[in-house]
Structure 1
Amino acid sequence: MVAFTCAIVGVDTVFFSALTPLLPHYAAVAGLSKAGAGVLIGAYPAGTLIGSLPSGALVARFGDRSVALIGLGLMSLSTLAFGWLTAAPVLDMARFVQGIAGACTGTAALSGLATAAPRERRGELLGYDLGAAVVGALFGPVVGAVANAVGPGPAFSAASVAAGLLIAISFTVPAPRPEAPQRLRAALPALRDRQVVMGMWLMALAGIAFGVIDVLAPLRLSRLGSSGTVIAATFLCAALAESALSPLAGRMSDRFGPARPLTIALIAGIACSIVVPLTSTAPWLIAVLIAGTPFFGTLFTPASALVSEGSAGLGLHQGIGFALSNLTWAAGQATAASASGALAQATSDLVPYLLLAFACLGTLAVILRTRDGGQTTPSAPATPDARAPADERS
């Protein structure tokens, strides 16, 4: 189950992240401005936004495997269209359908793993799944670099074969134990639960961060003279660092509670948001992106653990819980991608990055205040053995 769900989310992020090094290419062939590039980047999370709640309802009614198959099929077809077409409206629509497919595969994969995982290891195993998403992001820029060399059509055609293979493999993987079907209205109590709401906001914040970076950073690197291959290598190295940090953040979340990894990630995110727009040479910008952006990605693991734990405590189907987190991530990334391009075009790159830094600072203040004040806050799972030191558990 872990291997299969890792493969699903990995393929999803391959298709998602392959656009980053190709953005200057599509800006040229489709005549995109910064605002148009932001719309293209934001089309994928916009599709995820629209598809999140329906995918959760489908998982709760028909099971994880059926919804994963729907997502993989849509992903393969929309990726083929994106590879061979160049008109801006068609590209936007293809990315939008990819986002709907990603909502289906992501909700199904995380729901299945969270259902099957032991409670005391849920954060760690979700960290592996999210780390696999980062591994997919490693290969996405590689696919983008290959597409720069041989053309998007052949490159994306080859990449879409992976989705077809996963469709075949899915019939050989045992499904997790079924949960009782639920309707979407069962999610209403979760919107008043502190753990779930905090997890949803952290998902949104991570989406906002990558919405800003994925639009502005590739265009800035291109203006500073970096080729598509160099841009791809930059994001590949950043994703490699994130893939190592995600399971670590999950283990820290299981043992000490999510507040500790969140504090580290937010401090690093604030520093990255301030330094990136002030860096004026390509080598230094590359170094800052590789060192700083992985910490935004580590927000996903404790956020997922919070949503999963809160959902379990409320008796909410994991598929609906992860649909809620997908919804907020997609809303954050879609809005930030579209708005940051337009805002940077009207002012400068510094303004969107500073707004991101303030959002991270405000979130950090809330986490520190609630933790120090003894209020309900992101904490370890509510089992004594999960919070006890290792020697006490022994």
Structure 2
Amino acid sequence: MSIFTQMTKQQRIGLLFVILILFIDMLLYSLLIPIVPYFTEKLQPSSTMMGVLFSSYAIAMLIATPIFGPISDRMGRRTMLLIGLLGLAASTLLFAFSETMGLLITARFVQGIAAAATWPTALALLADLFPSKMRGTVMGIALTAISTGTLLGAPIGGWLFEISDHRMPFLAAAAFTVINIVLVYLFLKEDATKTVSEKLHVGGFIRNPQVIFIAGIVLLAEISLCLLEPTLPVFFTEKLSMTPTTIGLLFGVMTLAYGMIAPVAGSLSGRMNPYKLMFGGIMTLAVFLPFLAWADSLWQAMLAMALIGASIGFTLSPTLGTLGAIIDQGGSGAYGTAYSLFNMFHGIGMVAGPLAGGILTDLLPVSSALLIVAASILGFGILLFVQLKASKSTSLSIKESEMKF
């Protein structure tokens, strides 16, 4: 834990607020899960409406992220974080008092917009505060906050629901968010020299071979993660007669492994080639994914889920610090725009993953679908790495030619 002793007071405060903000965002995201049966029984929504409810978060995030990231580069991180937290508080209160599916969907949509403001801005704040050599580790810590919020949201929501009513989880979360708003307003300070950044040329940034590689890796990892959510519960219920509690435990094991490995991978990315780490992580994911199809007991399923969670955490953690390093090379300081692109690919994965999982499992058994997904990850991962290597070789050849000329 020597990294904490190297931090300044401003860096510690900034990291603490980023952890709190990302934690509360994902806590709110998963808080709804145990309360879904209540709304299903009370409102009698169709399957399509339930699908709209859960997809509205990612759709809103996709729409709003390209807007908020660049704005945070111009307005400053503190202001954008306050706007995002206010949006989270408003969406949570709307959840508490929603009596129709229309209001629930609106609340989920507002939550996605708020996440589009907080996610890239929080990551950009870390990039502002920490030098490149420390960035990988602190980004890994930020991912751990995300996984912890995801892990605790459902059980906390279920417990508060059981001891009170369906409004209590949302009211408690709203109160926590308001406290967070007050703390950010009072104690989060920004370096005034870093609140104004040069405009990032997004077109050129997206065409950067390194960014293309990172985007592809993020998409593969997020799609793989999100397609498991709608497919595995039915698969394990039919194959191993698992209860909903046991299935929740399995996803908790995966999330825990993700959160534990993320800081390790982030730290390694500061000392090793981060692109090789990402490639190694995605290849490991491809190898371990079929283990789910072959699991014949609860313990085998838990081991497979832990390995998959660790693989995804190992894959994604180096992407954040590396994106910041690419911005550093350009000298723009437009971290908000860069991390808004990360958030967009994350959102695309959240939409495409369940869709891909649904289509595949409609056509094939889940075990066959998992094997196809694993083979696809393997193929596309290798293709991305070859493309990255080829682009570096081409760039080196051009530089050598210019030197000879």
- TM band (smaller chain): 0.7 to 0.9
- Picking from 284, 308, 325, the partner of 1:292 is 308
Distance 1:96 1:297 in 2: 27
* Structure 1 position 167, deviation (Å): 0.4
Q: Does the aligned pair in 1 maintain the 2:213–2:388 contact within 8 Å?
A: no
- The 10-residue stretch of structure 1 (50-59 or 236-245) with the greater mean CA deviation from structure 2: 236-245
Distance 1:275 1:82 in 2: 38
- The 10-residue stretch of structure 1 (147-156 or 195-204) with the greater mean CA deviation from structure 2: 147-156
**Match status 1:192 vs 2:207:** yes
Distance 1:102 1:360 in 2: 28
Task: Report what 2:179 is aligned to.
Answer: 165
User: CA 1:232/1:119 → structure 2, altered by over 3 Å: closer, same or farther?
Assistant: same
User: CA 1:371/1:345 → structure 2, altered by over 3 Å: closer, same or farther?
Assistant: closer
SS at match of 1:114: helix
- The 10-residue stretch of structure 1 (109-118 or 44-53) with the greater mean CA deviation from structure 2: 44-53
1:214-293 maps to which residues of 2 (within 5 A)?
214-221=229-236, 225-279=241-295, 284-293=300-309
Distance 2:393 2:173 in 1: 45
**Match status 1:78 vs 2:86:** no
Q: TM-score when scaled to structure 1?
A: 0.83
Q: 1:41 corresponds to which letter in structure 2?
A: F
* Structure 1 position 355, deviation (Å): 4.7
Q: Does the aligned pair in 1 maintain the 2:256–2:309 contact within 8 Å?
A: no
**Match status 1:356 vs 2:373:** yes
User: CA 1:258/1:41 → structure 2, altered by over 3 Å: closer, same or farther?
Assistant: farther
Distance 1:270 1:24 in 2: 34
Distance 1:258 1:7 in 2: 27
Q: Does the aligned pair in 1 maintain the 2:96–2:167 contact within 8 Å?
A: yes
Note the alpha carbon deviations across 1:272-306, whole angstroms, 9 max, x for none.
Answer: 43232454655543442233223223322111122
**Identity between Structure 1 and Structure 2 (%):** 24
Distance 1:292 1:282 in 2: 15
- Picking from 327, 333, 345, the partner of 2:344 is 327
Distance 1:76 1:103 in 2: 14
* Structure 1 position 371, deviation (Å): 7.3
User: CA 1:221/1:153 → structure 2, altered by over 3 Å: closer, same or farther?
Assistant: farther
Note the alpha carbon deviations across 1:254-278, whole angstroms, 9 max, x for none.
Answer: 1111134324422332134323245
User: CA 1:356/1:145 → structure 2, altered by over 3 Å: closer, same or farther?
Assistant: farther
User: CA 1:271/1:84 → structure 2, altered by over 3 Å: closer, same or farther?
Assistant: farther
Distance 2:341 2:390 in 1: 28
Distance 2:246 2:205 in 1: 43
SS at match of 2:167: helix
**Match status 1:174 vs 2:189:** yes
Distance 1:359 1:273 in 2: 11
* Structure 1 position 363, deviation (Å): 3.8
Task: Report what 1:392 is aligned to.
Answer: none
Distance 2:230 2:137 in 1: 31
**Match status 1:203 vs 2:218:** yes
**Match status 1:131 vs 2:147:** no
SS at match of 1:299: helix
User: CA 1:22/1:235 → structure 2, altered by over 3 Å: closer, same or farther?
Assistant: farther
Distance 2:337 2:248 in 1: 34
- Picking from 10, 21, 27, the partner of 1:14 is 27
**Match status 1:67 vs 2:84:** no
Distance 1:295 1:174 in 2: 35
Q: Does the aligned pair in 2 maintain the 1:145–1:232 contact within 8 Å?
A: no
* Structure 1 position 308, deviation (Å): 1.4
Which one has the largest radius of gyration?
A: 2
1:104-123 maps to which residues of 2 (within 5 A)?
104-123=117-136
Q: Does the aligned pair in 2 maintain the 1:127–1:246 contact within 8 Å?
A: yes
Distance 1:321 1:306 in 2: 11
Q: TM-score when scaled to structure 2?
A: 0.81
Distance 1:69 1:338 in 2: 33
Q: Does the aligned pair in 1 maintain the 2:217–2:282 contact within 8 Å?
A: no
Q: Does the aligned pair in 1 maintain the 2:43–2:101 contact within 8 Å?
A: yes
User: CA 1:53/1:214 → structure 2, altered by over 3 Å: closer, same or farther?
Assistant: same
User: CA 1:267/1:201 → structure 2, altered by over 3 Å: closer, same or farther?
Assistant: closer
SS at match of 1:133: helix
Task: Report what 1:149 is aligned to.
Answer: 162
Q: Does the aligned pair in 1 maintain the 2:76–2:196 contact within 8 Å?
A: no
* Structure 1 position 134, deviation (Å): 1.6
User: CA 1:274/1:42 → structure 2, altered by over 3 Å: closer, same or farther?
Assistant: farther
RMSD of aligned residue pairs (Cα, Å): 3.0
SS at match of 1:256: coil
Distance 1:164 1:300 in 2: 30
SS at match of 1:255: coil
Q: 1:247 corresponds to which letter in structure 2?
A: P
* Structure 1 position 30, deviation (Å): 5.5
Distance 1:44 1:156 in 2: 16
Note the alpha carbon deviations across 1:126-184, whole angstroms, 9 max, x for none.
Answer: 1111122122222223224325634432112212222111100102122244243455x
Q: Does the aligned pair in 1 maintain the 2:73–2:336 contact within 8 Å?
A: yes
* Structure 1 position 248, deviation (Å): 0.6
Distance 1:29 1:118 in 2: 52
Aligned residues: 376
Q: Does the aligned pair in 2 maintain the 1:75–1:98 contact within 8 Å?
A: yes
